[in-house]
C-alpha cells in the first residue's frame, strides 16, 4: 500500500542530512527552492533530485546526466523539505515513534515529488517498526524492498529478535499465512521470525532452515541468525566463530539483530564477560534508533556483568539504561534492579521480555 493510499529524522546520518536539507530550503517555496547538493570535494551539483535516502542523493542536471553522491560525501543539501517532514524526522530521532508515524502521514499530504514521497515512506516504515506495529511495518517494508535489493535495507526489516515480544493476533495470523510455500522468501522470513518462539515454532524453524540456503544473501544471512536464535541447544565454539564471521560480512546497519543473537549464544555457553561485551556492540556501535533491542542489550550486558562479578559495571550500565531509555520496560527493570528488587525477571532472573 503506497503512502498516498495510507494517507486518504530519520535516525542516524540520514536524520542529520534531513535537518541540513530542511534548513537549506528555509524561507523558500517549493517552486523557488532549487535542489542542489555539495560534495566534500567542493563541487556543487544542481538540478532535479531523483533519489534521497540512507544511501545518499542522486541528482539529474539539466542535460539529463545523473550523479550519485554517497551519504558520507555530502556536506550541504538544499532540497526544500517541508516543515512537516522536518517535524516527523525530529520526532523519530527523539524516539517519539507513534507521533512520528502520524507526522509522516501528514507530511505526505503536501508532497508530490516521487523521491520525497519514498523518503517519507521509509521514515514511516521506521516509525511503525520501532513502535511495534509489526504488520503495518511488514506490509510497507515488503513494498519498498521490491525496489531496494541492497543488503543494508534489511536493517529495516521488522524481524523479531527478542523472545517474548508481543505481537497482536492479526499479525500472527498473517505470519501463519506467510509460512505457506506459495509465499515469497521475504514473507516467509518475516513470518518465521514472528512465530519461532510461539505455538508454531516447529513450522517456523523448518522455514528458517530452508531459508538459510537462499541464493538471496539478504534473506539467507538473516535466516541463519533467526535459526540460531531459535536453536534449543547452545552452539559449539566453531559454530559461534562461523556466526561471528557471518556478522562481519553484513552491512553495519544490518548487524544489530544478529549481534544480539550472538551475544545470547555466548551467554548460553556460560561466557558472561564475552556476552556482556557482545551485547554492548548493539547500543554502542550498531543501533542509532533508540530501539528496544538497544535497551534490551544494555540490560543483558548488565546481567552478564553481574554474573561475572563486575558489579560496578553492572550498576553503571543499569544507570545508563534508565537514563537513555526511560520509557522502555527494560529501564523499569533496571530501576527495580538498582533498588534491590526480588522480581525474578530482573537482573538476577532470566531477563526474558514480555514486550518488543
Residue 348: predicted pLDDT: 57
Check whether domain 172-338 has CATH 3.30.365.10, yes or no:
no
Per the CB < 8 A criterion, the answer to whether 90 and 9 are in contact is yes
Q: How far apart are CA 110 and CA 151, in angstroms?
A: 31
The string over 281-311, giving b where at least 16 C-beta atoms fall within 10 Å of a residue's C-beta and e elsewhere, is bbbeebbbbbbbbbbbbbbbbbbbbbbbebe
Domain ranges of the chain: 3-131, 172-338
What CATH number is given for 3-131 in this structure? 2.30.30.100
pLDDT along the chain (356 residues), means of 10: 42 42 40 76 94 91 94 90 91 93 94 92 96 97 91 94 95 97 97 92 95 94 96 92 96 95 97 98 92 96 96 94 91 78 50 44
Q: How far apart are the first and last CA of the chain?
A: 24
| pLDDT score for 349 | 54
Q: Which residue has the cell 523521491?
A: 115
Confidence at residue 335, expressed as pLDDT on a 0 to 100 scale: 79
Checking phi first, is residue 258 left (phi over 0); if not, alpha (psi -120 to 50) or beta? alpha
pLDDT score for 68: 96
pLDDT value, residue 79: 84
> Over the Cα atoms of the chain, what is R_g?
21
pLDDT reported for residue 340: 61
pTM score, two decimals?
0.83
Task: Tell me whether domains 3-131 and 172-338 share a fold.
Answer: no
Amino acid at each position: 500500500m503506497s503512502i498516498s493510499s495510507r494517507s486518504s529524522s530519520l535516525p542516524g546520518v540520514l536524520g542529520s542530512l534531513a535537518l541540513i536539507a530542511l534548513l537549506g530550503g528555509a524561507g523558500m517555496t517549493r517552486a523557488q527552492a532549487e535542489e542542489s547538493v555539495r560534495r566534500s570535494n567542493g563541487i556543487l551539483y544542481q538540478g532535479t533530485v531523483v533519489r534521497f535516502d540512507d544511501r545518499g542523493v542522486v541528482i539529474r542536471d539539466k542535460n539529463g546526466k545523473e550523479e550519485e553522491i554517497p551519504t558520507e560525501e555530502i556536506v550541504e543539501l538544499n532540497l526544500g523539505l517541508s516543515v512537516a517532514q522536518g517535524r516527523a524526522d525530529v520526532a523519530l530521532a527523539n524516539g517519539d515513534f507513534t507521533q512520528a508515524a502520524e507526522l509522516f502521514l501528514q507530511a505526505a499530504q503536501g508532497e508530490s515529488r516521487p523521491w520525497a514521497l519514498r523518503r517519507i515512506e521509509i521514515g514511516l516504515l521506521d516509525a511503525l517498526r520501532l513502535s511495534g506495529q509489526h504488520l503495518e511495518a511488514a506490509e510497507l517494508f515488503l513494498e519498498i524492498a521490491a525496489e531496494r535489493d541492497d543488503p543494508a535495507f534489511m536493517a529495516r526489516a521488522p524481524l523479531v529478535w527478542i523472545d517474548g515480544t508481543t505481537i497482536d493476533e492479526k499479525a500472527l495470523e498473517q505470519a501463519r499465512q506467510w509460512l505457506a510455500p506459495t509465499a515469497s522468501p521475504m514473507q516467509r522470513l518475516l513470518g518465521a521470525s514472528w512465530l519461532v518462539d510461539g505455538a508454531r515454532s516447529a513450522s517456523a524453524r523448518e522455514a528458517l532452515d530452508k531459508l538459510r540456503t537462499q541464493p538471496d544473501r539478504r534473506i539467507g544471512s538473516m535466516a541463519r541468525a533467526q535459526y540460531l536464535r531459535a536453536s534449543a541447544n547452545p552452539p559449539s565454539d566453531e559454530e559461534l566463530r562461523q556466526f561471528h564471521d557471518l556478522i562481519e560480512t553484513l552491512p553495519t546497519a544490518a548487524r544489530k539483530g544478529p549481534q544480539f543473537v550472538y551475544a545470547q549464544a555466548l551467554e548460553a555457553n556460560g561466557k558472561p564477560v564475552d556476552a556482556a561485551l557482545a551485547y554492548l556492540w548493539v547500543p554502542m556501535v550498531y543501533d542509532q534508533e533508540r530501539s528496544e533491542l538497544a535497551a534490551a542489550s544494555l540490560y543483558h550486558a548488565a546481567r552478564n556483568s553481574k554474573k561475572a562479578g563486575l558489579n560496578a559495571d553492572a550498576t553503571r550500565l543499569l544507570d545508563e539504561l534508565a537514563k537513555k531509555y526511560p520509557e522502555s520496560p527494560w529501564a523499569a527493570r533496571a530501576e527495580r534492579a538498582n533498588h534491590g528488587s526480588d522480581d525474578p525477571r530482573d537482573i538476577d532472573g532470566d531477563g526474558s521480555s514480555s514486550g518488543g
